[in-house]
Amino acid sequence: MATTTTYTVTGMTCGHCVSSVKEEVGEVAGVTGVEVDLATGLLTVRSDDPVESGHIVAAVKAAGYDVAGQS
Amino acid sequence: MATTTTYTVTGMTCGHCVSSVKEEVGEVAGVTGVEVDLATGLLTVRSDDPVESGHIVAAVKAAGYDVAGQS
- pLDDT, tens digit (0-9, with 9 covering 90-100), for A19-52: 999 999 999 999 999 999 999 999 999 999 999 9
- The DSSP secondary-structure symbol of B51 reads -
Q: Domain A3-70: which topology?
A: Alpha-Beta Plaits (3.30.70)
- pLDDT, tens digit (0-9, with 9 covering 90-100), for B19-33: 999 999 999 999 999
Q: Verify whether the Cβ–Cβ distance B17 to A16 is below 8 Å.
A: yes
Tell which of B12, B14, B24 to mutate to test the A interface (max A CBs under 10 Å).
B14
